[in-house]
Structure 1
Amino acid sequence: MPGSVGRIPTPSAAPSGLTLRLSDQAWSATPLGPRQLWDPALRTVVDLVLDSPVAMALTCGDDLVLVYNDRCAELLGARHPAAFGQPAPQVFGDLWQTPGIGDVIERVYRTGEPFLERAASLPHARSGIARPDQAVFVRGHWAVRDASGYIIGVLTIAAESTQMTRQLQSLGELASALSGTLTLDDVARVALRFAATSFAADLVAFGIDDGPDWRTVRRVPGDLLDEVDERLPPLWHRSPVDSPTPLAATARSGVPLFVSEGQPLLATATDRHDERIRALAALPLNTPSLRGALTLGYRDPYPWLPTERALLTAWAELVAQAAERARKFEKQHGTAQLLQRSMLPEHLPDLPRLRIAARYAPGVDGNATGGDFYDAFALPGGQLAVVLGDVAGHDVRAAALMGQVRAALRALALSDPDPACVLRGLDRLVASLGAEAHSDELFVTVLYGVVDPEAGRLTLASAGHPAPLLRRAVAGGPTMAEYLDLPPGVPLGLGGRRVTHTMEFRAGDTLLLFSDGVVERRNQDLSDGLDQLAVTIAAASGGAPRTLCAAASSAVPGTTEDDVAVLAVENALTPSRSAAMAVPAEPTAPGRVRRWLTAQLTAWQVAESVIGSAVLCASELTTNALLHAGTAARVEIDLSPERLLVSVADSGTRGIVARAHTDPLSSRGRGLGLIEQLSDAWGTDPTVRGSTVWFEMLIPAGQRR
């Protein structure tokens, strides 16, 4: 409901007590219209205001019309009931211009930035007193947004308690933190952290429906969470739909539960923390697309005062709104991910002399399918075809076109791999699709090449795509990284002459194909990004494709709204040895990985010092994958005379695993710091199928076999 709400006339038939909600007929007579047509955020906040025992007021729309509750009516004194539904500047008259009154609300409405006054003197116009006296209140003001993110009003809460001041401030901070959440994992982290710190609870739990079951996550004071843990998904637990726990019962009934003294979790206790809880509050989270509940408990009896019940209700309402947004995002994101997965290769070829790696990260907000694509596949003659392309746009149409181009390219290449011939065939395809759609806005660029490792030759052709980078290891000299002098050509569908370029691709060389999202940054020249990429690739410790893909993705500082796609192919000096192991999602998996990796590296006669470090790092990565992704994993090792590369891939949704400085006393999250200390390089590759975390260890010159 962005924009002006208009004036709400005082309903003539309004009940005398505002806590008795106005009838649908009364609301329909106002510019707000029938309640069933309101934005969910407005309905939630109005209900919260009218039901709250704490003084609350909502100023709606550009006219800042007032909606308030009984407690606030007492503060308004003689201005009530005429003030209800009238513009606040009109209600308060000259007082509105007093610093700290009207200017604060107008600023919050205009900027969306919350504002808290820890001690404010407000006129307290009691009934029957001609001259208002002064009372000191704590006031918090927060912007209220609709489902589209537009500000539709300002919520004001007034209280007189020091404890309330802290909790109100925390409530505002919670609203701000929840506004930045995208997934249910994010919402759970923020909600649990808020309850554990603001209410000093001994047990906090968050649960939502998940198909036929419930899934819950909780926090207790004994949890030691460091920076890495906070960035990784929480550990969810499943329970049946008919679970008798207070959380599940409250979620099913939609009715809050407050137990002041007793043993509310004894019958369903899973550990000693549950058994020791004496007081419990359970708040339902019910929205059109989600059912759930929040619980908060103490080890001592607790009275649950009305003001605290109101704050807990507000906490639950904010979390419910954020959880519903997150569920919608995850549904859209899952659809986008599923579509993206069908567009990219499931696995890259495993060839004796060529090492291949790719990295893909969608731009925008993760809710849209990307237009970048890569591919690598073996040709009938033993060569390798490599492709990297870009379709303009981030929508389903762009993804569909990308899929058509990729499929057609592979079919053309398997028939005749000549790059110029393949691009001419794609020209005809894109031109035909454009004519069929009556559109001349189909913009597709492609770089396609054929790698012949036996002949040491590389043949490329470009259709408007950035030139690739070639990294050459010069014997006795510095490593060079230079852009190939390849005619750029024009994008597909525009015809034009397609020219191939053939060059040497010697043992030790690495070819890097990339999309423009790697080098383009807002307010920065493209040439600067290209220069930074070349310097970064030349300075890399080796030519391993996975290492170079990670380095390329972070070579240019700053964020990009475009997709990032990188494909690297190394013509290895000597063939490497590789092996892989499927890891089940079971507690015994890390032990299996340790035994398998030790036996494999011992059989390959790797030095014991390297084996010990590699086994420890691989075990930590496997544990992290099982804990935080919750899926089966795949461990791969690749050994060359110069280095050992170990990767652990999962199919979860944890995203990029970030470096962080961990607390040495923490019992969790220390594995990543250990890997950083023991390995020569490590990183994480986000993919549309999950995450791959890898590390590389250089083999000492005297220990190479």
Structure 2
Amino acid sequence: MTGSGGGDPSTITALPTQAGAAAQGDPDCARLVHEFPWETTPLGPMAEWDPQVRAAVDVVLAATVPMALTLGDDFRLIYNDAHAGALGDRHPGALGRPVAEVSAELWQVTAAETTQVTRRLQSLSELTAQLAGALTIDDVARVVLAFATASFDVDHCAFVVDDGPAWRSVRRIRGEMLDEADERLPPLWKRVGPESGSPLVAAAQSGRSAFTAEGTPLRDVATDRHEQRLRSLAVLPLRAMSVRGALSLGYRSAHAWPPADRALLTAAVELVAQAAERARRFEAQHGTAQLLQRSMLPEHLPELDRFRIAARYDVGVDGNAAGGDFYDAFELAGGRLAMVLGDVAGHDVRAAAVMGQVRAALRALALTDPAPQTVLAGLDRLIGSLGAESRNEEIFVTVVYGVLDPVDGMITLASAGHPPPVLRRAGADGGPATAELVALPPGAPLGLGGRWNVGKVRLEPGDTILMFSDGVVERRQQALSVGLDALVDVVAAAPSGDPRNLCALANAAVPGRTDDDVAVLAVEHAVTLSRSATMQVPAEPTGPSRVRHWMTSRLREWSVPEPVIGAAILCTSELTTNALLHAGTPAQVHIDLSAERLLVSVADTGTRGSVARAQTDTMSSRGRGLGLIEELSDAWGTDPSVRGATVWFEILIPHR
């Protein structure tokens, strides 16, 4: 471990107690260390040291066993009162000097490290690394609860942050079963009133720590028997500009909270406060960017008798930036369907603004004259005008636009510099499906004064067409053809042509991360008319039970095979439970049955990290249901939306 001025690891030693300065009086090494003129050394001012280094120093100074710590390239010495005796008359002059100058013999001493202190310092280093990847308050909560539980072996750990005028808290208790699926869900926050009397809220409001060695610290505010049994509790506030909060750890037995524990906890909370500050800023920026982005996309897509439509939009690596990808689908005169997917170059507010203008103009042009050449020519003039107006000739926009005639399934398409769609053909006589890129004449991007030729393709019953942005197939240091081939292969191998499933599969078709946003739009020509039903589920503990009864009755009316009903009921119950717990808002369950598959979606209108309105123990097992859905369904996924999120799954209907 090093300070701000060093690059080599430090050495921490715990030496046998010796008679000397420590025995004769209190050398007060803590005061000497903090008063030392570190700014005159390569380490620089102590206030500028890395928090992890300062935490190690605090642990050493608070320890009751003799300990020494060296920092920097020249191994400057820091030690505690108990270790001062080992130095004899070299104390206090040894403090802050390179070890080699203090004593060559001392430098050769074999360290008898204290296992618990070493382990906790290592866990503090791990905490720093994990908090570095925490983007949201949810992420910070997961990391800090796991750290406190593992490092201190506590019976109880809780974390609270401000939530408007109130507070929200999340806890972890000994014996709580968590698995990988649980960690994919937001933590289970509960609302805490400002006048609740909670020690966590009191610490967050006052900024003062509190340590109870033995007693009943939660007797007056306990929410269950577990909290009533706690006998010792440590509560420490977060000190950050935009976040108020606190962390508490408790035991069912008396615990003295020695100085080493307090020093380590103080250092840990300082790291958590810094991470929470970053997360709060990220959430604010991310929320603004995403609200801007999604508010410019259609909230609902058309519902047609014989054609099913789905779309998906996902941000790229930088979740704080609004992008220029967009999609749209809307009905035209005569029952025709306009569908478009486009990309405005850039990842900023300007790109999103241009995207909104392009989408609005395209609708206006298509509703007047939906012919692809006419629409693209009008958009070309718009982009040219915007470039001239801003004196910026670098506005780069690509679009693929088509008009579907539902009478015969014919689609008339044109592309302005955009990748061609993928066409999935259903297998004849039960054979395997095939997929290929549509042979679409290439055209110039918008704004260059180009001309565009049209292509035509017919959607037969069972076929699906998939439009996509280049973020789906482009990867660094990889040819575009590789991504296109991978997408075509994934679409051909899909268990069905359901558009929602294909959108999810397209997002993950090409391995590797993309820096670009991703947008996909799919339209399927259904073989037969589907049947559908929707239920609004209140945010109450009885909600999942109501869904089970309603759905069982409806699917049996539709003569769905019993094995499919059983699997669907179980999956839907889990998704409904998760939606009610983690969004805290009413959920909407939608079922859609066709000859080939049963599609079920559960949508909420909450946001990530919202407070649950129901008690935890009144509902089922949280994230473990996701693993169950993976096993029982043929496909599943999540779709973010303007007002919340939708989780869906698909089960294929066996041929009778």
TM-score exceeds 0.5: yes
1:528 aligns to 2:482 (yes or no)? yes
Among 345, 358, 362, the alignment partner of 1:405 is 358
Shift of 1:689: 4.1
Among 633, 640, 653, the alignment partner of 2:594 is 640
Shift of 1:650: 2.3
Contact 1:513–1:567 under 8 Å retained in 2: yes
1:196 aligns to 2:208 (yes or no)? no
TM-aligned CA distance change 1:349 to 1:218, over 3 Å: same
Q: Distance in 1 between matches of 2:82 and 2:646?
A: 55
TM-aligned CA distance change 1:292 to 1:135, over 3 Å: farther
SS of 2:270 mapped into structure 1? helix
Shift of 1:50: 6.7
Shift of 1:27: 9.9
Shift of 1:228: 0.6
Shift of 1:46: 5.6
1:19 aligns to 2:31 (yes or no)? yes
- Superposed CA deviations along residues 639-668 of structure 1, whole A, max 9, x for unmatched, are 11222111112244559xxxxxxxxxx955
Contact 1:473–1:480 under 8 Å retained in 2: yes
- Superposed CA deviations along residues 147-168 of structure 1, whole A, max 9, x for unmatched, are xxxxxxxxxxxxx422111111
Contact 2:213–2:232 under 8 Å retained in 1: yes
TM-aligned CA distance change 1:80 to 1:338, over 3 Å: farther
Shift of 1:226: 1.0
Contact 1:49–1:56 under 8 Å retained in 2: no
- Superposed CA deviations along residues 329-361 of structure 1, whole A, max 9, x for unmatched, are 111111112111211110111111110011211
Q: Which runs of 5+ in 2 are unaligned?
A: 7-27, 610-619
| 393-402 or 680-689, larger mean C-alpha shift | 680-689
SS of 1:223 mapped into structure 2? coil
1:300 corresponding residue in structure 2: 253
TM-aligned CA distance change 1:32 to 1:161, over 3 Å: closer
Among 81, 92, 102, the alignment partner of 2:98 is 92
Shift of 1:70: 6.2
Q: Distance in 1 between matches of 2:493 and 2:538?
A: 38
1:617 corresponding residue in structure 2: 571
- Superposed CA deviations along residues 98-139 of structure 1, whole A, max 9, x for unmatched, are xxxxxxxxxxxxxxxxxxxxxxxxx975xxxx964754447x
Contact 2:592–2:599 under 8 Å retained in 1: yes
SS of 1:496 mapped into structure 2? coil
> Residues 204-603 of structure 1 correspond to what in structure 2 (within 5 A)?
204-476=157-429, 477-603=431-557
SS of 1:701 mapped into structure 2? coil
Contact 1:225–1:668 under 8 Å retained in 2: no
TM-aligned CA distance change 1:434 to 1:78, over 3 Å: farther
Shift of 1:388: 0.5
Q: Distance in 1 between matches of 2:581 and 2:484?
A: 39
1:673 aligns to 2:627 (yes or no)? yes
TM-aligned CA distance change 1:83 to 1:542, over 3 Å: same
Contact 1:50–1:69 under 8 Å retained in 2: no
- Superposed CA deviations along residues 601-652 of structure 1, whole A, max 9, x for unmatched, are 2333333443333222211211122223333222111111222111112244
Q: TM-score, normalised by structure 2?
A: 0.86
Q: Distance in 2 between matches of 1:468 and 1:443?
A: 20
Q: Distance in 2 between matches of 1:273 and 1:137?
A: 41
Q: Percent identity?
A: 63
Q: Distance in 1 between matches of 2:75 and 2:349?
A: 42
Q: Distance in 1 between matches of 2:137 and 2:506?
A: 31
Which letter does structure 1 place at the counterpart of 2:98? Answer: F
1:650 aligns to 2:604 (yes or no)? yes
SS of 1:227 mapped into structure 2? coil
1:165 corresponding residue in structure 2: 118
1:153 corresponding residue in structure 2: none
TM-aligned CA distance change 1:124 to 1:276, over 3 Å: farther
> Residues 92-111 of structure 1 correspond to what in structure 2 (within 5 A)?
92=98, 95=100
Among 104, 126, 130, the alignment partner of 1:177 is 130
| 367-376 or 601-610, larger mean C-alpha shift | 601-610
Shift of 1:225: 0.6
Structure with larger RCO (C-alpha < 8 A, sep 6+): 2
TM-aligned CA distance change 1:19 to 1:652, over 3 Å: farther
Contact 1:205–1:294 under 8 Å retained in 2: yes
TM-aligned CA distance change 1:673 to 1:376, over 3 Å: same
Which letter does structure 1 place at the counterpart of 2:540? Answer: E
SS of 1:621 mapped into structure 2? helix
TM-aligned CA distance change 1:474 to 1:226, over 3 Å: closer
TM-aligned CA distance change 1:641 to 1:43, over 3 Å: closer
Which letter does structure 2 place at the counterpart of 1:53? Answer: A
Which letter does structure 2 place at the counterpart of 1:442? Answer: I
Q: Distance in 1 between matches of 2:51 and 2:622?
A: 42
